[in-house]
């Protein structure tokens, strides 16, 4: 399994230079935990609370910062990755899963709040978002959330 991660920093001086490698490992762990062996691509935008607040407002009509946003390229059913779900491949014949936006500022705040390291929180947010790209969700507080949490745990154990 290979995963290409395109990473862009929205602003200078966001810090956390190590974020790139942590994110790549987390995307690969999520794909591996799901048994996906096909080459995949993900685009990741690193931003701060103001940048993600704007995205959250523009795309979800929620005018407050959040930790991570996911923008899947196609509708997938959880746990049922299929090549036929994708209409187009990019030039490298990889499946483009979609876009992720992460607030490094919110990530640092949550790491402190949950008594985690920054690295662990960043990888958790990346795994969480990658699973959203793969069709998982937690809109209900029952079975969907329980399933997503189990998949997050499986991926995090690979890190």
Beta strands in 55-119 (DSSP E): 68-72, 95-103
- φ, ψ of residue 142 to 5 degrees: the values are -110, -110
**Mean per-residue pLDDT of the chain:** 91
Residue 91 pLDDT grade (very low, low, confident, very high; cuts 50, 70, 90): very low
Q: Based on the structure, what is the number of domains in the chain?
A: 1
Cα distances from 63 to residues 54, 110, 112, 126, in angstroms, run: 7, 19, 23, 22
User: For the whole model, what pTM was predicted?
Assistant: 0.92
Tell me: pLDDT of 1 over 80.
Answer: no
pLDDT of residue 127: 98
Residue 141 pLDDT grade (very low, low, confident, very high; cuts 50, 70, 90): low
pLDDT of residue 78: 86
CATH code of residue 133: 3.40.390.30
Which range of residues forms the domain containing residue 60? 3-156
């Amino acid at each position: 399994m290979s995963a290409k991660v395109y990473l862009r920093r929205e602003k200078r001086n966001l810090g956390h230079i190590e974020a790139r490698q942590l994110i790549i490992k987390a995307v690969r762990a999520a794909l591996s935990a799901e048994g996906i062996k096909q080459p995949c691509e993900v685009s990741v935008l690193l931003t701060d609370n103001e940048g993600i607040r704007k995205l959250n407002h523009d795309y979800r009509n929620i005018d407050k910062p959040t930790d991570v946003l996911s923008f899947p390229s196609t509708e997938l059913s959880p746990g049922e990755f299929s090549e036929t779900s994708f209409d187009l491949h990019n030039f490298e014949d990889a499946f483009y899963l979609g876009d992720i936006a992460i607030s490094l500022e919110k990530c640092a705040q949550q790491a402190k709040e949950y008594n985690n390291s920054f690295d662990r929180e960043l990888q958790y947010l990346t795994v969480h978002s990658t699973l959203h790209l793969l069709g998982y969700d937690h809109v209900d507080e029952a079975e969907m959330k329980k399933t997503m949490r189990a998949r997050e745990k499986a991926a995090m154990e690979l890190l």
